[in-house]
Structure 1
C-alpha cells in the first residue's frame, strides 16, 4: 500500500510499524469524488466508498460523519487500536486522512460491504444462506473472542452492530468501528459520552453506565437475531412508536411451534429444526437482561462452530448428516443449551 502514501504524509507509530496518512487528493480521485455510485454502504458513523487506486489497488474508504470535536477522540482511538491489532476477523486499517473538518479511514477492501446492507438493503439478505449466516456469526464471535480473551488488557468493542461487520467477496466477516472501544479497567463514563447504536445497547449500560465484555455479548445476541429473522434491531410499529427486536422476539424464540414462522423467509425451512432451536437458545442467553446470565463469547463460539459446514471453517459434515437424515440424529457436545418448551408449555 506504499503507493497510497503521499510525500507529505505524517506517520503514527504502532507496534506493527508505520501507518500512513493518505493525501486527500488520492482518496478523491480513487472514489470518483466520493460519488454516490461508489457508495458501498451507509452507516450511522459514516459512509463506505469503494476506492480504486493506481496499479490495480482497491480499498474501502470510510468518510466519518460529524464535526471534528464530536468524532476526534473516536477517530484517534480507532487508529490507535487498529494499528496494533491483527486478527483475521478484525478489519485491517491501511491508512487515514484529514481534510478540513472531515476524517477518513482507509480499510482493506471488503467487496460485500456491511452485514446491515446485506440484510436490510435492496437484496434483503438473498445472498446469505443459512450456512453463510452461521459462518458470519462464527467470524464475529472469533473477532470478539480475540478482543476479550487474547488482548492484554482485554478490549471491549462497545459498538458491535450489523453495520460494524464488514464482508469480503466470500462473505468472510471482519469487525470494524473501534471508535468506542476501551481496554478493561480504563473505561469511565467520560469515555462513553456517545452511546452505541440504538437497539444494541445492553440494559446495564442504559441503567447505570456499566460497560463490560458482556455488553459486547448482548450486542452479538442482537446481531444473531438479525441473522435469524432478517429484521432490524429497532423497527417502527407506529409513527411515534418503535419496538426492539429483543422485545418482539423473546416470547417466540422459546416456542418450538412458533420459531420456524419468525425466521427470515429467505432462509425459512432451509435448516434442521434442531439447529434452528440451538441458535435461538444461544441468542436468548446472549440477550439476557442480567450480564451474569450471559455466556462468555468463547462458549458462544464453541456452540456455533458445529453448525457451520467444514467447507466454511466449521465442524458440520453436511454429507454425513444427509446420509443420516432418516436415521437417528447426530449428537453434538453443545457448550450452551436451553430447554425450550414444547407446544404444551413443558420443557
Structure 2
C-alpha cells in the first residue's frame, strides 16, 4: 500500500483551522478522459449519497465503494463525524471533499481529505487505486494527520498530562464498545494552578471495525500523544479508520456522553521521624484496617443471605421521616435503588442541558452515572396525577418485563415528594421526532417504517399474551415509542398500564386516562378497556407511521377532522395512496403498504369485537399470503367538518396528541 504510507503533517495553530486538509498520494497519475477518471466520477456522484442514507437498519454517516475493474479500479471510503444529525450536512461534506481533492490533486490516482468546519461539517474521505478496503488492510491506519494548539494548559505538567491521557483512554474505550464506534466525554478541574480547565474529547472509528480492532486503532493514536502534546490546549490525530480529538471548548453537537474523572495522584509521604521510627498508631491502623474490612464484608454477605430468604416479599416499606424505599425482588440483579443525591449528581441538579423532553407525567433527563453509564431519568411531577400508586405500579411492572421491544427499567428513587424512575438511555429518543419532523422523515424509508411497526406489534403481543401477567398499556402513542441505536422500537411509559391475570381480558374504570386521538371509543365514553383498546391505539399509530401525519390536531383531512376517518374514506374509494407519506411513493413495495393500511383499518374499527388481536396482527404482517378481511368504518367516523355532532365534541378530539388527559366519567 505505497499510497497509504504514513505521511505525518504536524501543525501548531491557534485556534485550530476550519479548512480542508488535502494529502495527495504518490501512487501515480491518471490521464484526462481515461477509464480511471470515469470511475472516480462515479464514486464522486454516489459516495456522498451512500454515506448519508440508511445502512441496513440505521444511518451511520459512513460508506465505502468500488468502481471499475483492474487496472482502472478505484476504492473509496467516507466517514462523517458521529454527532451529525443532518444527512444533508454529511452528503455536502463528502461531496465538497471530492471537489477539494480533485482541485488540489489533479490527476492523482489517490487523495485523502480531512474536512473540518465546526459550525457545519466534519468528515474525511480517501480514495486510491490501491485496495484500502481489503480485509487484510482493514486495520491499516493509512495517511496520518495531526493538528495541535500551541497554547499550554496551566498547571503541573505531570498532573495535566495524566489527566489528558485518562480522558483520551476513557473516550477511546467508550467508542470501541459502542455500536457506532463514536463517543464523547469531558473532564474538568485537571489544572493545579487554581484555575479550572475543562476539556472535551471525541473518539471515533469506522462502524465496520470489530471492537478490538477499533480499540487497537484508537490506542495507537492515544499512545502518540506524548508528554509535550498532552499539555496542549487542544489537538487531534486522524487516520483512515479512526481519530481522536480534545479541545478546551465544546466542539461537537450535543452534550458529552460521559464525565471522566482524572485518576488521583498519590500524595508524597511525609518524611519519617528519624528519632522515633514508625509511630505506634500507624502500626495499629495497618493491623486493624484489614480486620475491619473482613468483618464488614462478612456482615454484608450475611445481610444478602437474609434478603435471599425473603423470597417473593419484595415491596414497599417506610423509613423514618416518612420517605419511601422500594425493595425489589433479589432476582432482578440489574435493578438498582438510587439515593436522591445520586440522581442530583447524575443529572447535574436536573439542569436544562440534561433535559431530554417532557412527558405527561413529568420531565425526562439524561443522567451520567459511574462507569460511564448513561441513563434516562424520569422525574415524576407532583401535580401530574401519577401518585405513589402509579409509581409503584410502573416499577413493579416494568422491572419484571423482559422483551427486546420494551424499554428496560434499571432503577428507581423515592424520597419525600420525589418519585424517580431510571431507564436505559436510548439516543434516538422517540418515534414522533422521526415521523412528524421534517428532518427525521428523510431517514424513515419503507423498510425502516415496516420494521418499527412489526417491533411495536411484537412488544404488544408480549404484553397481552406472553408476559407473566396480561398487561394493557392504555397510552400507546408515538412519543411513548423510543428508538435504540439500531432504530428498533421499544414501548415505554407504563404509568397508566393495567395488570390482569392471564384469564381476564377486560376491565372498567370511572377514571379515564390516556391521550385523545389514541383512545378506543368504548374506553373514552364508557371506561371499558381491554386488549382491544390497545389494538385500536396500535391501528392509529400505524396510520401515523404510514402517513407522517398526526391523527388529530389543527389540520383537517378532507371532510374529516381526524386521520382515521379520512384514511378509511380513501381506502373505500380506492385512493389509498393519498394517505401515504409522499417520500414512500412511487415504490416497489406498494403491496406491502396496502396490506399495512388494511391491517391498520381493521384495528381501528368502531366495535371492539371486530378488531383483531395482536396475535392476529402478527400473523397478518408475517404471512403475505394470508387473506385479509375488509374493514368496517372506523370509530369517530362521524367526526366530519361541519357535522353538528362533531362540533359538540371536536374540542375533545382535537387535543394535542402528546398531552395525557384524565377524565372522570360518571357511570
Query: C-alpha offsets along residues 251-296 of structure 1, whole Å, 9 cap, x if unaligned?
Result: 123443x322221234333452211110110011000000111111
SS of the residue corresponding to residue 211 of structure 1 reads strand
Q: Is this contact kept in 2: 1:48–1:63, CA < 8 A?
A: yes
Residue 435 of structure 2 aligns with which residue? 119
Task: Please name the residue that 2:561 is paired with.
Answer: 243
| CA shift digits 1:137-171 (9 cap, x unpaired) | 11111111111111344221111111111110111
Which SS does the other structure have where 2:387 is aligned? Answer: helix
Residues 69 and 129 (structure 1), Cα distance of their counterparts in 2 relative to 1, 3 Å cut = closer
Q: Does 1:106 align with 2:398?
A: no
Higher relative CO (Cα under 8 Å, sequence separation at least 6) belongs to: 1
**In structure 2, C-alpha distance between the alignment counterparts of 1:305 and 1:186, rounded to whole Å:** 25
Which has the larger share of strand? Answer: 2
1:103 alignment partner, SS class: strand
Q: Name which of 435, 442, 467 aligns with 1:151.
A: 467
Whether 2:649 is the aligned partner of 1:334: answer: no
Distance 1:255 1:66 in 2: 49
**Residue number in structure 2 paired with 1:290:** 607
Q: Do the aligned residues in 1 keep the contact of 2:480 with 2:491 (CA within 8 Å)?
A: yes
Task: Indicate conservation of the 8 Å contact 1:299/1:335, yes or no.
Answer: no
Structure 1 CA distance for aligned equivalents of residues 512 and 413 of structure 2 = 23
Work out the CA distance in 1 between the residues paired with 2:525 and 2:325. Answer: 42
List runs of 5+ in structure 2 lacking aligned partners. Answer: 1-318, 633-667
Report the equivalent of 1:17.
332
- Give, in whole Å, the separation in 2 of the partners of 1:237 and 1:223: 17
Distance 1:68 1:91 in 2: 21
For residue 412 of structure 2, what is the aligned residue in structure 1? 96
Query: Residues 76-126 of structure 1: CA distance to partner in whole angstroms, max 9, x if unpaired?
Result: 111010122111111110011235534221111211111122223463433
Partners of 1:275 and 1:58 in 2: CA distance: 38
Most deviating of 219-228 and 175-184: 175-184
Kindly report which structure 2 residues correspond to 1:1-347, keeping only aligned pairs within 5 A, or say none.
Answer: 10-14=325-329, 16-17=331-332, 19-67=335-383, 70-98=386-414, 100-121=416-437, 123-184=439-500, 185=504, 189-190=508-509, 193-237=511-555, 243-256=561-574, 258-305=575-622, 332-334=624-626, 336-338=628-630
**Contact 1:91/1:175 (<8 A) preserved:** yes
Q: Secondary structure at the match of 1:14?
A: coil
The CA deviation string for residues 149-199 of structure 1, in whole angstroms up to 9 with x for no partner, is 113442211111111111101111111111121123497545x62411111
From the superposition, tell whether residues 335 and 170 of structure 1 become closer, same or farther in structure 2 (CA, over 3 Å): farther
Once the two structures are superposed, residues 199-220 of structure 1 have per-residue CA deviations (whole angstroms, 9 ceiling, x without a partner) of: 1100111232211100000000
Output one character per residue of 1:210-244: Cα deviation in whole Å (capped at 9) or x when no partner.
11100000000011011011111211148xxx933
TM-score (norm 2): 0.42
In 2, Cα distance between equivalents of 1:166 and 1:27: 22
Q: Which has the larger radius of gyration?
A: 2
Q: Within 1, Cα distance between the matches of 2:351 and 2:407?
A: 23
Q: Quick check: 210-219 or 36-45, which moved more?
A: 36-45
Distance 1:134 1:104, change over 3 A: same
Q: Assess, with a 3 A threshold, how the Cα gap between structure 1 residues 85 and 249 changes in structure 2: closer, same or farther.
A: same
Which whole-Å CA distance do the structure 1 matches of 2:466 and 2:527 have between them?
A: 25
* Contact 1:230/1:264 (<8 A) preserved: yes
Task: Tell whether the 8 Å contact from 2:570 to 2:578 is kept in structure 1 after alignment.
Answer: no
What are the ranges of 5 or more consecutive residues in structure 1 without an aligned counterpart? 1-7, 307-331, 341-347
Q: 1:48-87 CA deviation, whole Å, 9 max, x = no partner?
A: 3222222111111222234376432221111010122111
For 1:52 and 1:269, the matched residues in 2 are separated by: 45
Q: Distance in 1 between matches of 2:550 and 2:385?
A: 30
Per the alignment, in what secondary structure is the counterpart of residue 75 of structure 1? helix
Q: 1:209 to 1:194 in 2, by over 3 A?
A: closer
Distance 1:211 1:69, change over 3 A: closer
CA deviations over 1:23-67 (Å, ceiling 9, x no partner): 233223323333333333333233332222221111112222343
User: d(CA) in 1 for partners of 2:477 and 2:631?
Assistant: 28
TM-score for the superposition, normalised by structure 1? 0.78
The answer (yes or no) to whether the contact 2:362–2:384 under 8 Å persists in 1 is no
Distance 1:211 1:268 in 2: 37
Identify if the C-alpha distance between structure 1 residues 38 and 259 changes in structure 2 by more than 3 Å, giving closer, same or farther: farther
Instruction: Tell me how far apart the structure 2 counterparts of residues 128 and 276 of structure 1 sit (CA, whole Å).
Output: 14
